[in-house]
Amino acid sequence: MDLIATKALERAGMDPSRPEFLRIPTVLGEQGRVLPLDQDLPVPVMDEEDRVVWLPLQPISSLWTGSAVAPDFSFAPPPEYEPFFILIEATAAEYCDATGKPERDREFQRLYRFLRRRPDGVDPNPLFSYLRAASRLYLSLRDVSRAEFEAVADRLRVSARTFATRLDSTNYHHFVLEEFYHPARMAPSTGSTERAS
């Protein structure tokens, strides 16, 4: 948990106790291209009223707290973990909406696996930087152990794998991200944030 991030959200009029109502909006540069989020720079955080604040966030490995054991995620996550899943998947839905194309199920599997194994790493797919930023935000607002973080990332990977039917299938995007988290249903705006590059 990071009290500096919590206070910054409060100053911006956002509620840090409700991370499920926050998301990381997609940053567009020149010609509408998605800009990856650099781990060393502030990241945009948007609430349900489309207010945006740019926050410096610590790396994931610096935010792990305690030694809590992760619960069984074989089926649905326990209610206390739902805000974590919602923040990550709403951010993924926002990203796909901004790019205009759903990521393939296998790519989501790969990115979630990479998030679990190398949470502070860098991937050529800009979506990874958004998944990492959403995780950094959540860990800044709640105490999460390394085991809990890795279990959540792995459960997301399993979810994407469950929906994969072909090499190019996008079922995870369609049946999970669009159905439950589609940004157009959350707010009337596109959710994209322009930034000079």
pTM for this entry = 0.87
32-56: string of b/e by CB count within 10 Å (b at 16+)? eebbbbebeeebbbbbeeeeebebe
Give the model's confidence band at 195: pLDDT under 50 very low, under 70 low, under 90 confident, else very high.
very low
Domain range summary for the chain, segments of one domain joined by +: 3-194
Beta strands in the chain (DSSP E): 27-28, 43-46, 52-55, 193-194
Q: Is 127 exposed, middle or buried (0-12, 13-18, 19+ CB in 10 A)?
A: buried
Is a pLDDT exceeding 70 seen at residue 68?
A: yes
What was the pLDDT predicted at 74?
82
